Structure 1
Amino acid sequence: MTNRYEELLARAAADETVLGVILSGSRARGAATEHSDFDVYVVVGERDGAWRTSRTPELDTIVMSPADIADVSDEWQRYSYRGARVLLDRLDGHIAELVRRQATLSPAETDAWVREYLDGYLNFAYRAAKSRRDGRPEAADLDERESVAWFLWTLFALYGRVRPYNKFLRWELDTHPLPAPWTADHLIATLTERPSALLPELERAVRAKGFSDVIDEWDLSLLR
């Protein structure tokens, strides 16, 4: 497996049409196991067929243009650039800047994402509370579980960051800690056991960051 990866790097370095090479995933983040593959973005100016996207159990090669990396509209994909390593940059740092841009939120994005995902989280939390009140525990549990994704998008957006994939949640919190109380142990254990228990802490963080107006649109008496 390592040989295929090294062969890919050598081929890219020898090909002047390759503008950049980016290593992503577990290998880039120092979180690889014996089963981890290599996730590599090969950046080219023109998709002329010399380089093709391919995926194998050992090596994923994704061919992209600078315009592809500059497109930040795919919110879920953006975390793949978090902790990514730029191995080759023939654009004098532009590839590295595009990677950084993907992995962080602008102030405008932070505002929009917090508002969207916080509203979604409160919606699911409210539905769960109503179902629990009305004697429908299964529906309540399903809504509470569904709220977790919205909670994580909200929490990380509050701090200008994209939501990590669940696989990397602990790595993210251990390597790039959030302010108290959002330690990896506390957050993961509570999200796993009873996500709604985090609402008071999230509310305090949201209000401190200036998003009280989103919270105040909801009657949270039932949740409290």
Structure 2
Amino acid sequence: MTYAALLARAEADPDVVGVILSGSKARGTDGPHSDWDVHVVVREQTPRWTGSHTRELDTAVLTLAALADVSDRWARYAYRGAVVLLDRGGIAELVHAQATLSPAEVDPFVREELDGYINFVYRAAKSRRDGHHDLARLDELEAGPWFLWTLFALYGRVRPYNKYLRWELDNHPLPAPWTFERLVSTPSAVFTDLERLARSRGYGDVFDAWEDLDLLR
């Protein structure tokens, strides 16, 4: 099935309540090998609609309840920059809720991810101190995802997929000093800036629960 045929079929089916275009086509970053990433939202699961993947078209079928479920944090960035092609009630609002963090979500996100980030940069610092630079490098790699989740959560945003990090910052920049180059630097190198930001947002207690932070500073 072609992209155009899928849209026509969805528009003709009253059980389809929404169609969402995501991925590189929606964000304008597509290349010669990019396919169409389409989410078809149905009221309830029906055998008439099943997901499929071809070289041209990647189709995911989900229910309205599934679109409203924000518990899969990794899947949420798929909706950042997505284009709602068909909305028969509330689809745009649900897409927005997936692509951003609500005020109630920010605090638990930040606390969990910030603590994980501190843990790994602390481990890296101890390994460097003890001359184990190969192990420190592994801990730095572990710290990276925790850092990105923390930083974007502090601004009420979900972490971008690495593929779209530059697109995210080009289209929705963060305040200084959070440039693309800063975000892809060694996680330990951003500790002081992240601590300053997190403390200004009321998360000093997360740092204060750790001893010997001077090792990281």
Query: Shared fold (TM-score greater than 0.5)?
Result: yes
Deviation at 1:108, TM superposition (A): 1.8
Question: Structure 2, unaligned stretches of length 5 or more?
Answer: none
The question of 1:178 aligning with 2:174 is answered yes
Q: How far, CA to CA, are the matches of 1:186 and 1:137 in structure 2? A: 22
Deviation at 1:18, TM superposition (A): 1.0
3-state secondary structure, aligned to 1:221: helix
CA distance in structure 2 between the partners assigned to 1:167 and 1:29 by the alignment: 12
Q: CA deviation at 1:131?
A: 0.8
Distance 1:113 1:138 in 2: 30
The equivalent residue for 2:147 is 151
How many Å separate the matches in 1 of 2:131 and 2:179?
A: 33
* Residue 18 of structure 1: aligned partner: 16
| Contact 2:22 2:79 (8 Å CA) reproduced | yes
Pairwise CA RMSD of aligned residues?
1.1
1:53 equivalent among 51, 54, 65: 51
Partner of 1:217: 209
Verify the 8 A CA contact 2:21 2:82 in the aligned structure 1: yes
Q: What secondary structure is seen at the aligned counterpart in 2 of 1:32?
A: coil
Give structure 1 regions of 4+ aligned residues with deviation exceeding 2 angstroms.
185-188
Give how far 1:222 is off: 1.1
Q: 2:87 is matched with which residue?
A: 89
Q: CA deviation at 1:107?
A: 1.3
1:136 is matched with which residue?
132
Cα offsets for 1:139-192 (capped at 9, x unmatched) = 10000111000000000000000000000001001100111111123323x1xx
Distance of aligned partners of 1:203 and 1:31 in 2 relative to their CA distance in 1, 3 Å threshold: same
Looking at structure 1, the residues matched to 103 and 114 of structure 2 have their Cα atoms a distance apart, in angstroms, of 16
Give the distance between the partners of 2:183 and 2:134, measured in 1 at CA.
Answer: 23
TM-score (normalised: structure 1): 0.94
Matched, 1:200 2:198: no
- Residue matched to 1:107: 103
* Alpha-carbon contact 2:120-2:139 (below 8 Å) kept: yes
Counterpart-to-counterpart distance in 1, 2:159 and 2:47: 34
Matched, 1:39 2:32: no
Per the normalisation by structure 2, the TM-score is 0.97
Q: How many residues align?
A: 216
| Structure 1 unaligned spans of 5+ | none
